C-alpha cells in the first residue's frame, strides 16, 4: 500500500470503469520492460534501486562535506543545469520556509549555471561580495556551456579571495567517476569528488550525490529523504493498478491522453511546491516528449493562478487534465482573526484556519473544473518533511517511467536536446562547427 495516495474519484465521467482494467495488460508489459530491462534505455535504470543500493561511504562523505560547508561558508554556489540542479533546488524549497533564503544564520544554497543570463551571474557575484563561499559544480562532462561559464567565473573569484590552495579545498565536484574534463581537473587539483552514476540520468538523479549534497548543506535530513524513497521502492512493486497508485496514475494519464487530453497541469496550493512542478516538468517532458507524441507537462500555482489561468482552464480548449499535489498538513497554520466591524466581509470565516479555507478552495476548484469538462485527479502529500518528499520523488519517477513505456517510447533518452546545442555551437564559432555556423548565418 502506498504512503502517497492517489484520489481518482473525480474521473468517473471521463474514464469508464472497464478502461482501467483494460490497461492492465499494457501495464504488465511496461513493468516487465522496466523491471527486467527488456525495454529501450534499459542501461539507465539504476535509479530504480538507488534508495537501497547506494554507496554508504560516499553518503557519509556527503554529510561530512555538508557539515564543513555549513561551518566555513555563508554561500554554497551550486552550478549545474537541467537535472543537475532542478531536483536539489526543488527539495530545498519544499523542505524549508518560503523565506528561508532571508535567514542569514544559515548557509544559503544558491544555484547558478542554469542560464546564459549575464545579469543573473553579475548580480550573484554582487550578492556573494566578500562573504565566505564554496562551490559545488555538477556536470558529467564539465564542458556544458552554461555551467562551464559559471564555474570559470566563480572559480576565478574563489582563487582571488583565498588563493589557489585554500580555493581547492572549497571546490566540490559531482561528475563522472572516471572520465571527462571536470574529472581530470578535479584529480589534478585534489577537489573532493562525488560520482554521477552512469546508469542514472540527470532527471532521475536527485536521490544521488547530484541532489544530496546541496540538500544536506541546506540543513535537509538526507537520511530521512532516502528512508522515504526506500519505502516507496519497496511499496510500489505491485503490477495490479488497483493496488499500486503510481502505476494507476500512469495508466489513467495515458487513458486520458488517448482521449485527446494532451496537456497535463500539475497544480499545488502551497508556494514552496512551485519548484516541485519545475522538477516534474523536466521528468515528464524529457522522458515522454518523443516521436511527435507525449503528454505536454505544464503547471499552475493555486489559488494564485486561478486569478490568471483560471478562466482558460475553466472554459478554454478541452485538451487539459489536472493533477493536484494536495498537502494534507501544512508546516504552519493561521487563524482568521475577528474584527469589530465586518467591513471586508470575512465575518463568516472568523476563527477558521487558513488551511481549512485553502482546502475548501481546492474542493471548489475540483468541482468547478470537472463540471467544466476538465478531468482532475489528486496526489495527497501528507506533509513537507523529508520522508514524504523522498517517497513523492520515487512515486513520480516510477510513474513516469511506466507511463513512457505505455506510450511506446524510450523514457530514458533525450535525443532532441542536442539540436539547439549544435546550432548554438555553430553560431558561436566553436571549433568543428564552423560550416554549420556559416549555413545558419545565411538563414538568419
Burial class (CB in 10 A: 0-12, 13-18, 19+), 260: exposed
Helices 386-406 and 245-258: crossing angle in degrees, nearest 10, is 40
Q: Helical H runs in 197-337? A: 209-217, 222-235, 245-258, 274-288, 310-315
Q: Is 142 left (phi over 0), alpha (psi -120 to 50) or beta?
A: left
Taking alpha carbons only, the member of 215, 220, 174, 245 closest to residue 394 is: 245
C-alpha cell at 265: 497541469
Q: Given CA atoms 12, 395, 360, 314 in this order, what sign does their dihedral have?
A: negative
pLDDT by position in tens, the chain (length 444): 679 999 999 999 999 989 999 999 999 999 999 999 999 999 999 999 999 999 999 999 999 999 999 999 999 999 998 888 999 999 999 999 888 877 667 899 999 999 999 999 999 999 999 999 999 999 988 888 899 999 999 999 999 999 999 999 999 999 999 998 999 999 999 999 999 999 999 999 999 999 999 999 999 999 999 999 999 999 999 999 999 999 999 999 999 999 999 999 999 999 999 999 999 999 999 999 999 999 999 999 999 999 999 999 999 999 999 999 999 999 999 999 999 999 988 999 999 999 999 999 999 999 999 999 999 999 999 999 999 999 999 999 999 999 999 999 999 987 866 666 677 676 667 776 666 656 657 677
Looking at the chain, which residues constitute the CATH 3.40.50.10490 domain(s)?
5-39+226-407, 47-220
C-alpha cell at 417: 536536446
- CA distances in angstroms from 172 to 80, 130, 135, 199, 204, listed in the order given: 12, 20, 6, 22, 21
Cβ neighbour number for residue 352 with a 10 Å cutoff: 13
Query: pTM of whole model > 0.85?
Result: yes
- CA distances in angstroms from 406 to 30, 156, 164, 219, listed in the order given: 6, 48, 52, 38
Produce one character per residue of 199-216: b if its CB has 16 or more CB atoms within 10 Å, e if not.
ebbbbbbbbbbbbbbbbb
Q: In the block, which residue shows the cell 565566505?
A: 132
What does DSSP say about strands 108-112 and 133-138: parallel, antiparallel, or unpaired? Answer: unpaired
The fold adopted by the segment(s) 5-39+226-407 is Rossmann fold (3.40.50)
Instruction: Return the CATH superfamily for domain 47-220.
Output: Glucose-6-phosphate isomerase like protein; domain 1 (3.40.50.10490)
Could you list the active site residues? 286, 421
Produce one character per residue of 22-43: b if its CB has 16 or more CB atoms within 10 Å, e if not.
ebeebbeebbebbeeeebebee
Determine the Cα–Cα distance for residues 9 and 357; give it in Å rounded to an integer: 22
CA angle, 289 then 232 then 174, to 5°: 65
Amino acid at each position: 500500500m502506498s504512503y502517497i495516495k492517489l484520489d481518482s474519484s473525480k474521473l468517473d465521467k471521463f474514464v469508464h470503469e472497464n478502461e482501467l482494467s483494460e490497461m492492465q495488460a499494457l501495464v504488465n508489459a511496461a513493468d516487465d520492460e522496466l523491471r527486467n530491462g527488456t525495454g529501450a534505455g534499459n542501461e539507465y535504470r539504476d535509479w530504480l534501486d538507488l534508495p537501497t543500493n547506494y554507496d554508504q561511504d560516499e553518503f557519509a562523505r556527503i554529510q561530512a562535506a555538508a557539515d564543513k560547508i555549513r561551518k566555513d561558508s555563508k554561500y554554497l554556489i551550486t552550478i549545474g543545469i537541467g537535472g543537475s540542479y532542478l531536483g536539489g533546488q526543488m527539495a530545498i524549497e519544499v523542505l524549508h520556509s518560503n523565506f528561508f533564503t532571508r535567514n542569514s544564520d544559515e548557509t544559503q544554497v544558491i544555484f547558478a549555471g542554469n542560464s546564459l543570463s549575464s545579469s543573473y551571474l553579475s548580480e550573484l557575484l554582487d550578492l556573494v561580495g566578500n562573504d565566505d563561499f564554496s562551490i559545488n559544480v555538477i556536470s558529467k562532462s564539465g564542458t556544458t556551456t552554461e555551467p562551464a561559464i559559471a564555474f570559470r567565473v566563480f572559480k576565478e573569484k574563489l582563487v582571488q579571495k583565498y588563493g589557489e590552495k585554500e580555493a581547492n579545498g572549497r571546490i566540490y565536484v559531482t561528475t563522472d567517476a572516471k572520465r571527462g574534463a571536470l574529472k581530470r581537473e578535479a584529480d589534478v587539483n585534489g577537489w573532493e569528488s562525488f560520482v554521477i552514476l552512469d546508469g542514472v540520468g540527470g532527471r532521475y538523479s536527485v536521490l544521488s550525490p547530484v541532489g544530496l549534497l546541496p540538500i544536506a548543506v541546506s540543513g535537509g535530513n538526507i537520511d530521512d529523504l532516502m528512508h522515504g524513497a526506500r519505502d516507496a521502492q519497496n511499496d510500489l512493486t505491485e503490477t495490479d493498478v488497483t493496488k499500486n497508485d503510481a502505476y494507476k496514475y500512469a495508466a489513467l494519464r495515458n487513458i486520458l491522453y488517448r482521449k485527446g487530453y494532451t496537456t497535463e497541469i500539475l497544480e499545488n496550493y502551497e508556494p514552496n511546491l512551485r519548484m516541485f512542478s519545475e522538477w516534474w516538468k523536466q521528468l515528464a517532458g524529457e522522458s515522454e516528449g518523443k516521436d511527435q507524441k507525449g503528454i505536454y507537462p505544464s503547471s499552475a500555482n493555486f489559488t494564485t493562478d486561478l486569478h490568471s489561468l483560471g478562466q482558460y482552464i475553466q472554459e478554454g480548449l478541452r485538451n487539459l487534465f489536472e493533477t493536484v499535489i494536495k498537502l494534507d498538513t501544512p508546516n504552519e497554520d493561521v487563524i482568521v482573526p475577528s474584527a469589530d466591524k465586518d467591513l471586508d466581509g470575512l465575518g463568516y470565516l472568523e476563527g477558521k484556519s487558513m488551511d481549512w479555507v485553502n482546502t475548501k478552495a481546492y474542493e471548489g476548484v475540483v468541482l468547478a473544473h470537472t463540471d467544466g469538462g476538465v478531468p482532475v485527479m489528486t496526489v495527497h502529500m501528507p506533509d513537507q518533511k523529508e520522508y514524504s518528499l523522498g517517497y513523492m520523488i520515487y512515486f513520480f519517477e516510477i510513474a513516469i517511467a511506466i507511463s513512457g513505456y505505455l506510450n511506446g517510447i524510450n523514457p530514458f533518452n533525450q535525443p532532441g536536446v542536442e539540436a539547439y546545442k549544435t546550432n548554438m555551437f555553430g553560431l558561436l564559432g566553436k571549433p568543428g562547427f564552423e560550416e554549420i555556423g556559416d549555413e545558419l548565418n545565411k538563414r538568419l
